[in-house]
């Protein structure tokens, strides 16, 4: 083995690491160690490539000499993580007049000419960035060299070392380009990520016998099922050739001639290589190979491309076959990728009104209101609205807007454009390259090829599985989440050490969450039960009641409805804890704000419009989120909480069965003082005693506090005296800690994150330093007074991996998140356990 500081030959014993030479170089070394037929390859380290980018190119003659006479080489990129990308492969370096003559003698003139033209074209266009149009169409080497000379104003270089130097320099510089940098940073690469390069002797793929190139993988990329999938093109080179119409299937196939028929021995060797890699590299690989007169050469192997669904199936299969552990299977799945398995699909049977089509860039479908900016997506998301982010193309500034949207639609771009890459990472449906649509970003309109015009706020559906964009809300099919997915989640359940509950207000939410299994309901926002049209009228009557008895009458009619709601939830949850939050929002949210609505309400209540308008006016507040809401309403209009408590206790009796008594949890929102809790507690206790006496039944319940104000966190000690549990409502707590409106922050959040004021939107990722400190103080003071107090997070952060980690380290009992976040939360909770096991120092 000859090693020089500038390059390292990839041998079984060479000093080769992913962190210094990149994943491709390391993988090739593994293939060499397995005894697979890999052509001679040398690797350039990150440092060497960095120097080349800065213009310090080493003497390449010794490297070239390694490959011997008449060699052609390829150069491939080798970044630290495969998904950080890298410049494309360049083949046939070393091709010149002399070698062309030699190859013509061995393989025939036409093969030699083809290789030569291919290289001149690649060298001109990809390396020197000359105009591609000049090298289009059929060319002879002589004409190609003439075009080259015209464009480059120099002769086509004949010295292989010069060719190699220029290739290396161009690839090293491409890595430093802004687009490449943005794309890899979107994949989590650090700003200073390095690029390695591998230089490999070409196995030509042209010549006598069965010669050609191909790729193969042993799993179906959509399902992950075992299969032999790939293509082989005779007398061809590189991946590009695989798009050729003459490509053969790999395995004997009714659809046509196959590699298995043409070269059974090579086929056998390929299958054996795939099995060996699976076992020893512990991964399903995609193999790039060349046959030279029937002889197999393995040029490269990468992780086999796969959908999120196939990724889950693959790790579960590998673990079931004992190739990897269950822990490793769990660790290999990025939590956010689960979104792709969970997303809904448009019902293919239902009628569809297609307004345009594009590239199906990320699977799943979603409906929402059109927005033309990330700011608008964030602003509407803060109000709980579903949006579709529509842009010409996206950039890194849009990532937070994409987080806030339900789907992304871009006029430009393709499968690997920024929008596509990010959307897949986030599990968002995405359609790119919808070029028949005209966007007018100023007027905020989207015009179809048929001249239909859509405006911001119009509802559309993006089908990222088919590429269709549909008018309105399309009929959807719920995702299937059984099989390998269910197995993986079950393994996560076995490992995780923090509870995962769901934020669920409706039976539908509970049904969704129960597909994944949950430890309970962590937050039932009861006000959502009052927006039903029938109930809304009763709510309004209650708000407009002038006397206590009028109010009591309205509440009496709401009581059975609430009792029904809670009974249903308790029954569905089958004894698992259900935490019901007492009424939280300001009352005026239930009242109409426009003239038509006020007139309709006046009619319904049989009151003059002026009286209704005046009453609405009197309920208006300057800062409603800091005003008469939550426990403040509970104390000033106590009948509402009385009614809810009664409904909860009566439902408790109705849903309890012999040995399985329901133990409801009642949570008081927006507390800031101990006395608030005492006042509510004494009334709730009184209602409980009354319900028990009236029904001749006993039951227990737990009363707790939602810690959403900084003061509640600071005074958690005394608050815990009357509270069985403290659940941190991190949405409001973030709002109040920062003094930052959760409904308005979207307007400037991008600017703030971009300029590094906030590392991330604190409403998405828990601010572990500030809000986190309040959580820790609250937990410590609460526990000091009541050691057994149950602690949890129930804001949106409950479904965020980093916040789950924080909660786990802080010793919280559970996190509660929205239904579709439950699998992600479980997986990430399990991953933190595994990470702590392997990296104890981190804890
Ligand atoms: C919270 O404030 O964190 C919370 C969960 O309650 P809501 O979002 O309903 O205000
Ligand atoms: Mg809140």
- Cα gap 293→109, rounded to integer Å: 18
Distance 711 CA to ligand 2 centre (A): 14
Q: How confident is the model at residue 1 (pLDDT cuts 50, 70, 90)?
A: very low
795 lines ligand 1 (CB under 6 A): yes
Identify the pLDDT of residue 836: 87
CA distances in angstroms from 678 to 103, 535, 674, 704, listed in the order given: 92, 30, 6, 11
Centroid of ligand 2 to alpha carbon of 675 (angstroms) = 19
Reported as a single tens digit per residue, the pLDDT across 395-435 is: 766 777 888 899 999 998 776 667 886 776 566 899 988 98
Cβ of 731 closer than 6 Å to ligand 1, yes or no, is yes
Q: Is 671 left (phi over 0), alpha (psi -120 to 50) or beta?
A: beta
523 lines ligand 1 (CB under 6 A): yes
Task: Say yes or no to pLDDT of 370 above 50.
Answer: yes
Ligand 1 atom 9: the closest Cα is on which residue?
Answer: 525
CA neighbours closer than 13 Å in the CB half-sphere of residue 94: 24
Q: By alpha-carbon position, which residue is closest to atom 6 of ligand 1?
A: 729
- Of 819, 708, 840, 694, the C-alpha closest to 774 is 708
Report whether residue 85 contacts ligand 1, using a CB cutoff of 6 Å.
no
Question: Ligand 1: which of 669, 764, 767 to mutate, most ligand atoms within 8 Å of CB?
Answer: 669
Pocket test for ligand 1, best of 704, 706, 821 (most atoms within 8 A of CB): 706
Residue nearest to atom 3 of ligand 1 (CA): 729
Q: If you search the block for the tokens 């959502």, which residue do you land on? A: 528
Residue 680 C-beta-side C-alpha neighbours within 13 Å: 33
Ligand number nearest CA of 503 is: 1
Domains of the chain by range and CATH?
8-96+157-201 (3.30.1490.20), 212-306 (3.30.470.20), 344-477 (3.50.30.10), 496-529+567-586+626-831 (3.20.20.60)
Instruction: Please choose, from the candidates 586, 588, 590, the residue with its C-alpha nearest in 3D space to the C-alpha of residue 558.
Output: 590
579 DSSP β-pair partners? 665
Does position 826 have pLDDT exceeding 90, yes or no?
Answer: yes
Give the confidence band of 702 by pLDDT, cuts at 50, 70, 90: very high
Residue of 670, 794, 798 with the most ligand 1 atoms within 8 Å of its CB, for mutation: 794
Task: Quick: pLDDT tens for 108-162.
Answer: 888 899 889 999 999 999 999 998 888 888 899 999 999 999 999 999 999 999 9
Question: Is the CB–ligand 1 distance for residue 33 below 6 Å?
Answer: no
**pLDDT, position 692:** 97
Q: Which residues on adjacent β-strands are paired with residue 469?
A: 356, 462
- Coil, strand or helix at 236: coil
Position 278 scores a pLDDT of: 98
pLDDT over 90 at 369, yes or no: yes
Query: What pLDDT shows up at residue 794?
Result: 94
Average pLDDT, stretch 521-550? 86
Phi/psi region, residue 800 (left: phi>0; alpha: psi -120 to 50; beta: rest), is beta
Q: Whose Cα sits closest to atom 10 in ligand 1?
A: 732
Mean pLDDT in residue range 470-475: 93
Query: Which of 708, 734, 792 to probe ligand 1 with, by most ligand atoms within 8 A of CB?
Result: 708
Active site residue 794: yes
732 lines ligand 1 (CB under 6 A): yes
pLDDT at res. 5: 56
**Cα–ligand 2 centroid distance for 729 (angstroms):** 5
pLDDT score at 199 = 97
Asked whether the predicted pLDDT for residue 65 surpasses 80, the reply is yes
Which tens digit of pLDDT belongs to each residue from 5-23? 589 999 999 999 999 999 9
Cα of 669 vs centre of ligand 2, distance in Å, is: 7
Residue-wise pLDDT tens digits, 577-596: 999 999 998 888 888 877 88
Judged by its nearest atom, the ligand closest to the C-alpha of residue 794 is 1
3-state secondary structure 613-635: HHHHHHHCCCCHHHCCCCHHHHH
Nearest 5 degrees, angle CA 137-CA 141-CA 145? Answer: 95
- Mean pLDDT score, 464-482: 85
Token representation of residue 81: 């993580």
Ligand 1 closest atom vs CA 523: 5
Nearest ligand atom owner, CA of 771: 1
Highest mean pLDDT among 307-316, 676-685, 759-768: 676-685
Beta pairing, strands 499-503 & 814-817:
parallel
State the pLDDT confidence band at 3, using cuts at 50, 70 and 90: very low
Distance CA 687, CA 683 (A): 6
Based on the residue annotation, tell me whether 524 is a catalytic residue of this protein.
no
Ligand 1 centroid to residue 793 C-alpha, Å? 10
Query: What's the predicted TM-score (pTM) here?
Result: 0.81
**DSSP helix/strand/coil, 463:** strand
What pLDDT is stored for residue 815 in this prediction?
Answer: 97
What is the whole-number distance in angstroms between the Cα of residue 816 and the centre of ligand 2? 13
Q: Is the Cβ–Cβ distance between 259 and 248 less than 8 Å?
A: yes
The answer to whether the CB of 568 falls within 8 A of the CB of 507 is yes
Is there an atom of ligand 1 within 6 Å of 794 CB? yes
| Mean pLDDT rounded to a whole number for the chain | 91
Instruction: Pick the atom of ligand 1 nearest to 503's CA.
Output: 5
What is the Å distance from ligand 2's center to 726 Cα? 13
Work out which ligand 1 atom sits closest to the CA atom of 731: 3
How far is ligand 2, taken at its centre, from the CA of residue 445, in Å? 35
Please, are residues 73 and 164 in contact by the beta-carbon 8 Å criterion?
A: yes
Distance 706 CA to ligand 1 centre (A): 9
Asked if residue 559 has pLDDT above 90, the reply is yes
Contact 280 CB / ligand 1 (< 6 Å): no
State if residue 818 touches ligand 1 by the CB under 6 angstroms criterion: no
Task: Please give the average per-residue pLDDT across 447-474, as a whole number.
Answer: 94
350-359, 406-415, 564-573, 657-666: which has the highest mean pLDDT? 564-573
CA separation for the pair 141, 494 (Å, rounded): 64
Give the Cα-Cα-Cα angle 108, 112, 115 (nearest 5 degrees). 150
- Whether residue 712 has its Cβ less than 6 Å from ligand 1: no
Specify the pLDDT at position 842.
Answer: 41
Q: Which ligand is nearest to the CA of 766?
A: 1
Cβ(730) – ligand 1 distance below 6 Å: yes
- What is the position in ligand 1's atom list of the atom closest to the CA of 797? 3
Going by pLDDT thresholds of 50, 70 and 90, the confidence category of residue 476 is confident
pLDDT of 290 over the 90 cut: yes
Q: How far is the CA of 596 from the centre of ligand 2 (A)?
A: 30
Of ligand 1's listed atoms, the one at least distance from the Cα of 730 is 3
How many CA within 13 A on the CB side of residue 817?
Answer: 26
Closest approach atom of ligand 1 to CA 584: 9
What is the per-residue pLDDT for 2? 41
Q: Is 799 in the pocket of ligand 1 (CB under 6 A)?
A: no
In three-state form (DSSP H/G/I as H, E/B as E, the rest C), the secondary structure along 795-843 is: CHHHHCHHHHHHHHHCCCCEEEECHHHHHHHHHHHHHHHHHHHHCHHHC
**3-class SS of residue 390:** strand
Alpha-carbon distance 422 to 773, whole Å?
A: 31
- Alpha carbons 648 and 251: distance in angstroms, whole number: 63
Closest CA to 569 of 526, 535, 631: 526
pLDDT for the residue 843:
38
Distance 486 CA to ligand 1 centre (A): 30
Segment of 227-241, 299-313, 418-432 carrying the highest mean pLDDT: 299-313
Task: Please tell me which residue in 418, 430, 524, 579 is annotated as part of the active site.
Answer: 418
Residue 528 Cβ contacting ligand 1 at under 6 Å: no
- Mean pLDDT for the stretch of residues 744-769: 86
Contact 724 CB / ligand 1 (< 6 Å):
no
Which tokens go with 360? 């199906």
Query: Which residue out of 579, 729, 798 has the highest number of ligand 1 atoms within 8 Å of its CB and is therefore the one to mutate?
Result: 729
pLDDT in tens, 685-701: 999 999 999 999 999 99
Give residue-wise pLDDT tens across range 257-285: 888 988 999 999 999 999 999 999 999 99
Q: Kindly state the helix (H) or strand (E) to which residue 46 belongs, with its residue range.
A: helix 46-53
525 in ligand 1 pocket by Cβ < 6 Å?
yes
Q: Is the dihedral of CA 418, 421, 424, 430 positive or negative?
A: positive
CA of 458 from ligand 1 middle (Å) equals: 28
How far, in Å, is the centroid of ligand 2 from the Cα of 699? 28
Answer whether 708 contacts ligand 1 (Cβ < 6 A).
yes
pLDDT of residue 244: 65
Q: State the ligand closest to the CA atom of 671.
A: 2
Pocket test for ligand 1, best of 731, 742, 815 (most atoms within 8 A of CB): 731
pLDDT at 286 over 90: yes
Q: Cα separations (Å) of 829 from 328, 424, 489, 531? A: 14, 22, 11, 34
Q: Which member of 27, 524, 794, 817 is catalytic?
A: 794
Residues near 750 by beta carbon (within 8 Å), at least 6 away in sequence: 374, 375, 378, 397, 400, 401
What pLDDT is stored for residue 321 in this prediction? 97
């Amino acid at each position: 083995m000859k090693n020089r500081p500038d390059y390292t030959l990839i041998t079984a014993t060479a000093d080769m690491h992913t962190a210094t030479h990149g994943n491709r170089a390391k993988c090739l070394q593994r293939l060499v160690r397995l005894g697979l037929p890999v052509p001679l390859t040398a690797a350039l380290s990150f440092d060497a490539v960095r120097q080349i980018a800065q213009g310090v190119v080493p003497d390449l003659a010794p490297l070239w000499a390694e490959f011997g006479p008449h060699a052609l080489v390829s150069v491939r990129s080798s970044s630290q993580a495969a998904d950080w990308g890298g410049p494309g492969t360049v083949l046939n370096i070393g091709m010149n007049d002399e070698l062309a003559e030699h190859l013509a003698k061995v393989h025939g003139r036409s093969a030699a000419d083809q290789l030569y033209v291919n290289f001149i074209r690649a060298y001109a266009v990809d390396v020197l960035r000359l105009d591609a149009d000049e090298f289009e169409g059929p060319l002879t080497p002589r004409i190609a060299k003439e075009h080259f000379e015209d464009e480059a104003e120099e002769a086509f270089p004949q010295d292989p070392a010069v060719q190699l130097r220029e290739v290396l320099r161009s690839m090293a510089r491409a890595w430093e380009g802004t687009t490449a940098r943005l794309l890899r940073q979107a994949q989590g690469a650090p700003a200073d990520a390095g690029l390695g390069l591998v230089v490999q002797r070409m196995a030509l793929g042209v010549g006598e016998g069965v010669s050609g190139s191909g790729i193969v993988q042993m799993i179906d990329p959509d399902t992950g099922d075992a299969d032999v999938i790939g293509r082989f093109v005779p007398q061809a080179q590189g991946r590009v050739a695989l798009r050729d119409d003459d490509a053969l299937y790999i395995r004997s196939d009714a659809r046509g001639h196959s590699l298995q028929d043409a070269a059974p021995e090579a086929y056998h060797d390929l299958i054996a290589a795939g099995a060996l890699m699976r076992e020893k590299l512990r991964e399903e690989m995609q193999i790039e190979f060349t046959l030279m007169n029937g002889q197999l050469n393995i040029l490269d192997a990468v992780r086999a491309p796969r959908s999120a669904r196939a990724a889950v199936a693959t790790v579960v299969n590998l673990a079931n076959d004992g190739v990897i552990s269950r822990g490793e299977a769990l660790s290999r799945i990025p939590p956010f990728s689960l979104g792709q398995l969970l997303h809904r699909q448009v019902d293919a049977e239902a009628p569809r009104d297609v307004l345009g089509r594009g590239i199906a860039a990320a699977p799943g479908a979603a409906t929402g209101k059109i927005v033309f900016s990330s700011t608008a997506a964030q602003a509407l998301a803060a109000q709980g609205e579903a949006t579709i982010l529509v842009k010409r193309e996206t950039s890194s500034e849009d990532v937070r807007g994409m987080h806030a949207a339900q789907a992304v639609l871009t006029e430009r771009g393709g499968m690997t454009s920024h929008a596509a890459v990010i959307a897949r990472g986030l599990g968002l449906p995405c359609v790119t390259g919808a070029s028949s649509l005209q966007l007018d970003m100023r007027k905020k309109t989207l015009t179809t090829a048929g001249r239909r015009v859509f405006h911001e706020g119009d509802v559309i559906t993006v089908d990222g599985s088919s590429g269709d964009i549909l008018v309105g809300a399309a009929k959807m099919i719920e995702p299937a989440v059984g099989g390998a997915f269910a197995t993986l989640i079950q393994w996560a359940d076995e490992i995780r050490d923090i509870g995962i509950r769901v934020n669920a207000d409706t039976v539908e939410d509970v049904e969704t969450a129960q597909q994944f299994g949950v430890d309970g309901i962590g937050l039932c926002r009861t006000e959502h039960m009052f927006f039903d049209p029938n109930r809304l009228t009763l709510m309004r009557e209650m708000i407009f009641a002038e006397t206590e008895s009028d109010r009591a009458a309205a509440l009496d009619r709401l009581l059975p409805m609430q009792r029904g709601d809670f009974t249903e939830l308790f029954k569905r949850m089958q004894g698992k804890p259900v935490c019901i939050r007492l009424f939280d929002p300001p009352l005026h949210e239930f009242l109409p704000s426009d003239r038509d609505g006020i007139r309709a309400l006046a009619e319904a209540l049989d009151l003059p419009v002026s009286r209704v308008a005046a009453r609405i006016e009197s309920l208006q507040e300057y800062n409603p989120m800091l005003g008469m809401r939550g426990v403040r309403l509970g104390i000033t209009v106590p009948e509402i909480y009385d009614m809810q408590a009664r409904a909860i206790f009566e439902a408790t009796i109705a849903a309890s069965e012999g040995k399985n008594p329901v133990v409801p949890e009642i949570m008081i929102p927006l507390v800031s003082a101990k006395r608030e809790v005492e006042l509510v507690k004494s009334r709730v206790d009184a209602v409980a005693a009354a319900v028990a006496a009236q029904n001749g039944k006993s039951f227990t319940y737990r009363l707790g506090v939602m810690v959403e104000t900084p003061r509640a966190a600071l005074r958690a000690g005394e608050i815990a005296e009357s509270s069985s549990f403290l659940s941190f409502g991190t949405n409001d707590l973030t709002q109040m800690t920062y003094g930052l409106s959760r409904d308005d922050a979207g307007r400037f959040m991008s600017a703030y994150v971009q300029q590094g004021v906030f590392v991330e939107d604190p409403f998405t990722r828990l601010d572990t330093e500030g809000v986190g400190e309040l959580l820790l103080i609250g937990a410590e003071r609460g526990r000091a007074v009541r050691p057994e107090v149950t602690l949890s997070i129930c804001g949106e952060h409950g479904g965020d991996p980093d916040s789950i980690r924080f909660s786990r380290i802080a010793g919280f009992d559970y996190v509660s998140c929205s239904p579709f976040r439950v699998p992600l939360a479980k997986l990430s909770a399990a991953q933190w356990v595994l990470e702590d096991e392997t990296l104890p120092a981190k804890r």
